[in-house]
Structure 1
Amino acid sequence: MSQVPLMESSEADLAATPAAGDGLRRPARRLVGRRGESWVPYVLVAPVALFILLLAIGPALFTVVEAFFRVNALDPPTRFDGLGNFRRLLDDPAVRTSISNTAIYVVVGTLGSTLLGIAAAVVLQRPFRGRSLVIAVLILPWALPGVVEGILWTGIFDPNAGLVNGLAQTTHLGSGDAVLLGQDRIQTIALIELVQVWQIMPLSALLVLAGLQIIPGELYEAAQIDGCGSWGAFRRITLPLIRPAVAVAMVQAVIATLNVFDQPYVLNGASRTASSVMMQTYFVSFQDLDFGEGYALSLLVTVVTLLVSLAVVAGIYRKVEL
């Protein structure tokens, strides 16, 4: 009877005793941080993150450096020029014209796409029959490439067989052969901006619509009980609560309008009438082969885009707590 516990204890001791070779083995290392957090997700994401950093930050740093050098294929070799590229750009009448045109694009495009986006989002807020189809059709202009849209609207604005001139002739509001693009600067910019607003408005509408979905219906019911009308509820409830979504919509519109290239180039060609800064960057870099000025102009556009976007966020965005 007394030997049984001894045998059990001895077997237990043997099982707990490490083998002779186990002392030489190194403990397995796990990818675990000091706080017990696993490093495996970070290791898996690291290659993609490194690729994105190299793809984005690498060219950006290269542009910043080369903007201060004289890089001209027709005037070698490359040499340090300080602020010379920036001075020559500001002295160029074509660049100044493109800057003023782009300023109009930014103001009209941002305000137009945001206001129309808010209106479309309010209409689409309540479910109705065919709502999904309407949203799908609404997204289509945003999904199309800018070049395709430019070609499409070129046919609409065509002076010979365009839709606009055809309607003008049918309604006896014009001769039907008017040249709409390239003649008057303001008219040309307005028509080009009409095309761009048509493209970027759907994204603004979807962003604002997403913001509307998080507003509780009880707020509108309480406002209605208190005697608040539709406009009052929109002004006191809807607008304050969708400010974060409106800020995001305005930022994406600012970025799109500051970097507009496809629509002016396809609709108006190389004419200065409605040229944008990005068009001028293309002309300076690849037609004049002055890459130093092209880098400098790209750097200016990047800095202005960042500053304007930050200003929009600071002025419009407000944290909402429901």
Structure 2
Amino acid sequence: MTVTTTAEVSTTGPARGLKPVRRSRVDLLPYLLVAPVMIFIACLALVPAVFTIVQSFYKVDPLDPPTRFDGLGNFVRLARDHAVVGSLGNTALYVVIGVTLSTLIGIGAAVVLQRPFRGRSLVIAILILPWAMPGVVEGILWSGIFDPNAGLINSVLSSLHLGEGNAVLLGQNRFLTIALIELVQVWQIAPLSVLLILAVLQLIPSDLYEAAQIDGCTSWGAFRRITLPLARPGIAVTMVQAVIATLNVFDQPYVLNGAASTGSSVTMQTYFISFQDLDFGKGYALSLLITIVTLLVSLVVVRLVYRRVEL
């Protein structure tokens, strides 16, 4: 018996040697799951941002209705406001002191906490407390420390015979006032800097330090050639969060120094202009300027400090 097998090729099928084209299907499920969060973020952040941008070009004053287009008038009046100009210098000092101290403290404390030791978890838990505390509470707490009559600092200075023990620390000298107020904010933001840098240090393999030790590298050399380069992404994030916090400082200066010009910040001026002077258009314009400066400074920090690390 002979079996004959024949293969039929459909003339309507794809040509020989050509692969059929498959149509890609878009999976909409991930987008549907993310959509509620994106809508919430848009309503919470983007809508107020757009509203602020638009209103900054209008004259918005409940005591002088109606709302009318003012062009760059709000920005011109900000440039001529001596209180705003003075607060810009104060805020610049807040940023320089705060970013420098919080970054140095973050790096130093993170290096100390990098190696496991008994009680490290307890130390980290205590370290978080200043960061979790509201800024107003910190201001009230430190106002007792800075008190000219019964404050801790004056008591220590009197014990060391460095003063009479009744020195007014805040409100007299501009630089001293800003330095002490920013010290309070650094006390709040430094724990977050420590945790961010520590998280990056935990990713560094211990083999690198062992190899460096075998090659005769000192502890300082290992820190300079291994720790710092590999920790740069965490340091960049730390500096950005410090820039954002110091550029928008409000609680500590307001509680410790009130409305005095010696320590007034730009954010405080936004509050005074908007809710005391009721000049909301000018307040919107100052808020817009703060946002733009924050973005620009943050981008500069990331550009200079951040480096991608591949282990």
- Shared fold, TM over 0.5: yes
Is 1:149 aligned with 2:138? yes
Task: Quote how far apart the aligned CAs of 1:44 are.
Answer: 3.1
Aligned: 1:179 with 2:168 = yes
Residue 219 of structure 1 pairs with residue 208 of structure 2: yes
Partner of 2:34: 45
Q: Which residue of 1 aligns with 2:150?
A: 161
AA of the residue aligned to 2:273 = V
Match of 1:284, SS? helix
Deviations 1:237-259 (A, max 9, x none): 11100000000000000000000
* Corresponding position: 1:122 with 2:111: yes
Say yes or no: does 1:234 pair with 2:223.
yes
Could you list the per-position Cα deviations for residues 88-121 of structure 1 after superposition, in whole angstroms to 9, with x for gaps in the alignment?
1011110001000000001110011001100000
Task: Please state how far the C-alpha of 1:176 moved relative to its aligned partner.
Answer: 1.1
Q: Deviations over 1:134-171 (max 9, x none)?
A: 11111111110100100000011011111111222222
Aligned identity (percent) is: 74
Whole-Å Cα distance in 1 between the matches of residues 65 and 261 of structure 2?
29
Q: Quick check: 44-53 or 278-287, which moved more?
A: 44-53
The residue matched to 1:272 in structure 2 has which SS? Answer: coil
Q: Distance in 2 between matches of 1:74 and 1:187?
A: 38
Opposite residue 238 of structure 1, the aligned amino acid is T
Distance 1:125 1:47 in 2: 39
1:74 to 63, 76, 80: 63
- The letter of the residue matching 1:257 is T
Q: CA deviation at 1:36?
A: 5.2
Bigger helix share: 1
Larger Rg: 1
Structure 2 Cα separation of the partners of residues 255 and 35 of structure 1: 43
| SS in structure 1 of the partner of residue 262 of structure 2 | helix
In the alignment, which of 171, 191, 207 is matched to residue 180 of structure 2? 191
Structure 1 match to 2:72: 83
Q: Give the partner amino acid of 1:48.
A: V
Distance between the aligned counterparts of 2:135 and 2:169, measured in 1?
20
Partner of 2:16: none
Question: What's the C-alpha RMSD, in Å, of the aligned pairs?
Answer: 1.1
The letter of the residue matching 2:90 is N
Match among 165, 175, 191 for residue 202 of structure 1: 191
Q: Distance in 2 between matches of 1:37 and 1:124?
A: 47
CA distance in 2, matches of 1:51, 1:225: 54
Instruction: Answer with 135-144 or 40-49: which moved more.
Output: 40-49
Cα distance between partner residues in 2 of 1:153 and 1:97: 25
Partner of 2:5: none
How many residues align structurally?
A: 289
TM-score (norm 1): 0.88
